[in-house]
Amino acid sequence: MVAGWPVKVYPVGSGGGGGSGGEPWTLGEHTLRLRAGDRAELAGLLSATNLQTTARQPGAASGQAAAPLSDRDGDGIPDPLDVLLGAKKTVLGADAYTGGYVKLAYPMGDVPRTIGVCTDVIIRAVRNAGLDLQREVHEDIARSPRSYPMVKGRGDPNIDHRRVKTLLPYFLRRWQAHTAALDDAADPLRPGDVVLMDTFPRRVGPDHIGIVSDTLGVSGKPLIINNWTDGTVTAEMDLLPFVPITHRFRIPPPAAQRPSRRPR
């Protein structure tokens, strides 16, 4: 954690044996097992006075602010960091920008992993944290169709969640909104935040989407994990100096589980 924000995951075992390997490391009343390289990295950072432990949090009640340590999929990784790791995986996948309508399975449908558009980066990244945008958006459209004037009829779970203009009302309704300013010290950009961007200033509203990286570009600003346009693959790009952010959102803690509904 840096300034109260999760930035990296280390496999940790208990001091009683097994765990992730390595010799026991005792810090005050806590004994950990870390890989040798991880211990060397943390040796100058951790001490008996600054080591804190916390119970795994499934999330706050509906309407409350998200705790940074909420963990909706129960994998021991905080949700914002899970989203960041999911986005990093899409960079490794280097899917080629390929638009078009694709019929998907439901729920948890996905286009072939070798292709995608900007929204598929978000879909795959948040799925790494246990959230299925396909299902979430489809059910929210059914719940409040007037909030989605761009959607016809009962919606289409094959494509609705893959459109930036359809994702915007969903994020406004369901996610935690944060300032779009780049220099707000009280509400800074955090790794794993989802940002909507305006690449065509003459058009109204955002038309692009990406995820804030934990890596800074040559501009000194965070890189944005995204799939830019025809001819590109998913990558970390230094977009913030020249592409304005219109909205920024953060994954919320999980609400009470709802039964999945198949599209009618």
What is the DSSP annotation of the chain? -BTTB-------EETTS-TT-S-EEEETTEEEE--HHHHHHHTTT--TTT------B--PPTTSPPPTTB-TT-SSS-HHHHHHHHHHHHHHHTPEE--S-----SSS----TTEE-HHHHHHHHHHTTT--HHHHHHHHHHH-GGG-TTS-TT--TTTGGG-HHHHHHHHHHHSEEE---SS-TTS---TT-EEEE-S-TTSSS--EEEEEEEEE-TTSSEEEEE--STT-BSEEE--TTTS-EEEEEEPPPP-S--------
Q: What is this structure's pTM?
A: 0.82
Asked if residue 68 belongs to a domain, the reply is no
Same domain, 30 and 92: no
Same domain, 138 and 31: no
Whether residues 225 and 117 fall in one domain: yes
Render pLDDT for 230-249 as a digit per residue (tens, 0 to 9). 999 999 999 999 999 999 99
Based on the domain organization, do 45 and 89 belong to the same domain? no
Average pLDDT rounded to a whole number, residues 42-49: 84
Q: Identify the pLDDT of residue 1.
A: 62
> What pLDDT does residue 20 have?
53
- Checking if the pLDDT of 33 tops 90, the result is no
Domain that holds residue 4: 1-53
* Residue 21 clears pLDDT 50, i.e. is over it: yes
Residues 112, 182: one domain? yes
Does residue 244 form part of some domain? yes
The answer to whether position 257 is within a domain reads: no
Domain assignment present for residue 255? The answer is no
Question: Is 59 domain-assigned?
Answer: no
Q: What is the mean pLDDT of residues 109-137?
A: 98
Asked if the structure places residue 258 within a domain, the reply is no
Overall number of domains in the chain: 2
Residues 35 and 88 grouped into a single domain: no
Least confident interval from 31-35, 75-79, 142-146: 31-35
